[in-house]
Amino acid sequence: MPSYTELANQPVLSQPIYEAGRPIEVVAREFGLDPTQVIKLASNENPLGPSPLGLEAARRALDSVHLYPDGGCTFLREKLAQHWQMQPNQFVIGNGSNEVMILLAQTFLRPGDEVVFGSQAFVVYKLATLMQGATPVEVPMPNFRHDLPAFKAAITPRTKIVFLASPNNPTGGTDEPEAILDLARSLPEHVIFCLDEAYAEYLDASADLRPLILSGRKVVITRTFSKAYGLAGLRVGYLMGSAEVCGLLNRVRQPFNVNLPALAAAEAALQDREFVQKTKLVNAQGIVQLGQGLKQLGFHFIEGEANFLAAQIPQAEEVFLRLQKVGVIVRPLKSYGMTGWLRLTVGTPEQNQRLLKELAKL
Ligand SMILES: Cc1ncc(COP(=O)(O)O)c(C=O)c1O
């Protein structure tokens, strides 16, 4: 009798496991801690909590959860269109930006296709690629920075998608807007360029690829409500691109992929400029605070402007464990080929101080 494993589709067996940041309640139970005293600086979430406008809208929407959500995400697409000065049919809304990347892969990739991304890139690019039986082409990242000329050199007639995140996760480095534009313009017509801007709200200047989309180049942009808008638990993200590419992704998308409170929250949060501004400010101060603290402790880290820092810390795996015992959750980067590195999400000033104090003690 064949086992389930023998019956499974081949790509499933080669899927790397996505290692998420450990939840507060799980760590608290494992180490016998009071969950209210545990801090999570592991998943690049917003330490200020959810956007207040978003939260209020989600609460109101709960009264209507006996109804299906608007499968067309009409109002959110209209609001995004206004926000970006694009058309509503140039957006696809996903259950996190994670989902729109999977939709992109499902829509376009087949065995034999190649997908180009950095050697230390967000792991979902690889998961999505392998699941379609396509081939990941990982471009080495010297000093954990993108080598964009090497991206260009990696393009072949088989390349279907190029993924680039700026700021990049897990390294935190950012690419110059001009360099990103140059890469996007240089790609041949059979290649789709996906710029992942999950952390772009934290930057002072990011690349604006909308003119390329409007001029018909195969460029898509992904964004999320999980970070600067503080809605990670509701799962909303989106892709911006041509009406044609959005129409194709919409055929693959589940009819009700984004839930009702999430849609309401995202619509309201998009207007919450004050919250996003405050988030950006607190983060910029936190990056300085964490950076200075790490320097004082003698730890090397990658300079960045996202809401996290990757730091090289001796015996990182052991430190990861010992920090949990004292109620501080961070993220080891071994699975990204960065043994000896931890990724530290920027918290509130108090949380950052606590992390630095515990690191100093260790
Ligand atoms: C670079 C990058 N892209 C995309 C995502 C996906 O975020 P979400 O699915 O919550 O929108 C993340 C999440 O951490 C990320 O780091």
Q: What is the band of 357 on the pLDDT scale with cuts at 50, 70, 90?
A: very high
Q: Are residues 41 and 63 in the same domain?
A: no
R_g of the chain computed on alpha carbons:
20
Of 240, 269, 298, which one is at a domain's C-terminal end? 269
Q: Are residues 75 and 200 in the same domain?
A: yes
For residues 115 and 101, what is the distance between their CA atoms, to the nearest angstrom? 12
The answer to whether 299 and 312 are in contact (CB under 8 A) is yes
Report the pLDDT value the prediction gives residue 349, as an integer from 0 to 100: 98
Domain that residue 290 falls in:
4-49+273-361
Give distance in angstroms: CA of 199 to centre of ligand 1: 8
Give the CATH number of the domain where residue 11 resides.
3.90.1150.10
Backbone angles phi, psi at 272, to 5 degrees: -85, 65
Count of H helices and E strands in the chain? Answer: 15, 13
pTM: 0.97
Report how far Cα 156 is from the mean position of its chain's Cα atoms.
27
Report the pLDDT value the prediction gives residue 353, as an integer from 0 to 100: 98
Q: Are residues 263 and 331 in the same domain?
A: no
Report the pLDDT value the prediction gives residue 253, as an integer from 0 to 100: 96
In angstroms, the Cα distances linking 259 to 67, 89, 225, 249 are: 10, 20, 14, 18
The ligand 1 site (C-beta within 6 Å) comprises: 44, 96-98, 122, 165, 169, 196, 198, 224, 226, 232, 237
Please state the domain count of the chain.
Answer: 2
Report the pLDDT value the prediction gives residue 19, as an integer from 0 to 100: 83
Report the pLDDT value the prediction gives residue 336, as an integer from 0 to 100: 92
When the pLDDT of each residue in the chain is averaged and rounded to a whole number, the result is 97
Of 217, 241, 269, which one is at a domain's C-terminal end? 269
Torsion of CA 286, 289, 294, 295, to 10 degrees: 140
Give distance in angstroms: CA of 183 to centre of ligand 1: 22
Report the pLDDT value the prediction gives residue 265, as an integer from 0 to 100: 98
For residues 116 and 222, what is the distance between their CA atoms, to the nearest angstrom? 16
Report the pLDDT value the prediction gives residue 166, as an integer from 0 to 100: 97
Give distance in angstroms: CA of 2 to centre of ligand 1: 37
For residues 155-179, give the mean pLDDT.
97
As a residue count, the chain comes to: 362
For 75-106, the pLDDT digits (tens) are: 999 999 999 999 999 999 999 999 999 999 99
Give distance in angstroms: CA of 291 to centre of ligand 1: 23
Counting from 1 in the atom list of ligand 1, the atom nearest the Cα of 225 is 11
Give distance in angstroms: CA of 306 to centre of ligand 1: 12
Q: Are residues 218 and 144 in the same domain?
A: yes
Counting from 1 in the atom list of ligand 1, the atom nearest the Cα of 44 is 14
For residues 282 and 186, what is the distance between their CA atoms, to the nearest angstrom? 37
Question: Taking every pair of C-alpha atoms in the chain, what is the biggest distance, in angstroms?
Answer: 61
For residues 160-173, give the mean pLDDT.
97
Counting from 1 in the atom list of ligand 1, the atom nearest the Cα of 95 is 9
For 207-265, the pLDDT digits (tens) are: 999 999 999 999 999 999 999 999 999 999 999 999 999 999 999 999 999 999 999 99
Q: Are residues 265 and 289 in the same domain?
A: no
Report the pLDDT value the prediction gives residue 297, as an integer from 0 to 100: 97
Q: Are residues 324 and 211 in the same domain?
A: no
Q: Are residues 152 and 132 in the same domain?
A: yes
Q: Are residues 99 and 234 in the same domain?
A: yes
Q: Are residues 105 and 170 in the same domain?
A: yes
Produce one character per residue of 140-160: b if its CB has 16 or more CB atoms within 10 Å, e if not: ebeebebbbeebeebbeeebb
The answer to whether 144 and 338 are in contact (CB under 8 A) is yes
For 304-330, the pLDDT digits (tens) are: 999 999 999 999 999 999 999 999 999
Report how far Cα 116 is from the mean position of its chain's Cα atoms.
17
For residues 178-195, give the mean pLDDT.
98
* Protein residue with its CA nearest to atom 16 in ligand 1: 169
Report the pLDDT value the prediction gives residue 18, as an integer from 0 to 100: 83
For residues 16-25, give the mean pLDDT.
89
Give distance in angstroms: CA of 98 to centre of ligand 1: 6
Q: Are residues 79 and 149 in the same domain?
A: yes
Q: Which of 169, 222, 305 to mutate to test the pocket of ligand 1 (most atoms within 8 A of CB)?
A: 169
CA atoms in the 13 A half-sphere facing the CB of 172: 23
3-class SS letters over 319-358: HHHHHHHCCEECEECHHHCCCCEEEEECCCHHHHHHHHHH
Contacts of residue 328, Cβ cutoff 8 Å, sequence gap at least 6: 38, 39, 41, 354, 355, 358
Counting from 1 in the atom list of ligand 1, the atom nearest the Cα of 168 is 1
Nearest to 53 by CA among 277, 226, 261, 270: 270
Q: Are residues 40 and 136 in the same domain?
A: no
Side chain identity, residue 204: D
Report the pLDDT value the prediction gives residue 17, as an integer from 0 to 100: 79
Q: Are residues 214 and 283 in the same domain?
A: no
* Protein residue with its CA nearest to atom 6 in ligand 1: 98
Side chain identity, residue 122: F
Q: Is residue 126 predicted with pLDDT exceeding 90?
A: yes
Q: Is residue 124 predicted with pLDDT exceeding 90?
A: yes
Of 244, 269, 294, which one is at a domain's C-terminal end? 269
Give the CATH number of the domain where residue 246 resides.
3.40.640.10
Report the pLDDT value the prediction gives residue 194, as an integer from 0 to 100: 98
For residues 282-296, give the mean pLDDT.
98
* Protein residue with its CA nearest to atom 8 in ligand 1: 96
Percent of all residues in the chain with a pLDDT value above 90, rounded to a whole number: 97
Percent of all residues in the chain with a pLDDT value above 70, rounded to a whole number: 100
